Structure 1
């Protein structure tokens, strides 16, 4: 599904950043965009910045279910931050909670959650009903191998001791 991305430009709050950019809305089924101005209030401007494809895969249904189970189901909009006077570049949008987390881990990209419109929420929910089969939890069985028969890490073997204390031997070079 083509998904229009709306970015909001506000005046920056520091002297190092003239503008602050944030994803604020998505437009399901939108046509092509080239930074079309949608709304202006003073210096704050909303742009239809880009239209990106939103793809759903049968193998990722668990991640979609996780995203829908969140307090506010969201679309994660991923974009490169603006450098200087340049505008940010929208890379993708996803409804996968796991992919959004992976994108956040890099620290180089901006990932903004945008609440899902009702129509998009229904589309994702229909996809889940058609393709999601929850996997039952299977507890892993422990190995029967006994690991407690050998004592490793019992301190310095040159020191006779009954407790599990790590001590250095006394005497010799550098002793006080």
Structure 2
């Protein structure tokens, strides 16, 4: 199996909430191909109560066995990059967990409970790399469906008399 790893830098913002139940809202706002020299959770900008952070670098991992889901995402009307943050030990209380182009992997993290999942438009540079990976490694697989044996309706309702006698005891 061929594996390709692409570094993806993630920008997150914290803004005041319009709710009486929470003070602020976290949102992933950008994903950039490559890495940066900045340490994770470095403040990039602060204005009007909104703080933007460099959350760090996640690794977008592409597996040659999963190209079918990547292909559907890349060829879709709106290709997406999914970024997952998880509560953890950091100055902000969040840890950058992963970036993926696999919608089913993102769905699994959406059901995990406390993870923060954002679907961003797939940046053009990443789109090109993922499309090239799919073109190089995708193999169309024929959908194989099992044929069922024809059932014998006469055999379905019949039971041996000795079994019936044993059940009545």
TM-score interval (norm. to shorter): 0.7 to 0.9
> Residue 129 of structure 1 corresponds to which residue in structure 2?
135
In 1, the alpha carbon distance for the partners of 2:98 and 2:24 equals 21
> Residue 7 of structure 2 corresponds to which residue in structure 1?
2
> Residue 23 of structure 1 corresponds to which residue in structure 2?
28
Deviations 1:35-77 (A, max 9, x none): 2223333111221111111111111111211222333111111
Higher helix share: 2
When the two structures are superposed, what TM-score results if normalisation uses the length of structure 2?
A: 0.78
Structure 2 residue 84 is the aligned partner of structure 1 residue 78: yes
Deviation at 1:118, TM superposition (A): 0.5
> Residue 40 of structure 2 corresponds to which residue in structure 1?
34
Query: Which ranges of structure 2 fall in alignment gaps of 5 or more residues?
Result: 1-5, 159-169
Distance 1:103 1:146, change over 3 A: farther
Distance 1:146 1:20, change over 3 A: same
Deviation at 1:25, TM superposition (A): 0.7
Provide the secondary structure at the position in 2 that maps to 1:111: strand
When the two structures are superposed, what TM-score results if normalisation uses the length of structure 1?
A: 0.75
Q: Is this contact kept in 1: 2:41–2:92, CA < 8 A?
A: no
In 1, the alpha carbon distance for the partners of 2:29 and 2:154 equals 57
Query: Which ranges of structure 1 fall in alignment gaps of 5 or more residues?
Result: 153-176
- Where relative contact order (Cα < 8 A, 6+ residues apart) is larger, the structure is 2
Distance 1:143 1:18, change over 3 A: same
Distance 1:108 1:130, change over 3 A: same
In 1, the alpha carbon distance for the partners of 2:138 and 2:153 equals 40
Superposed CA RMSD: 2.3
Count of paired positions = 151
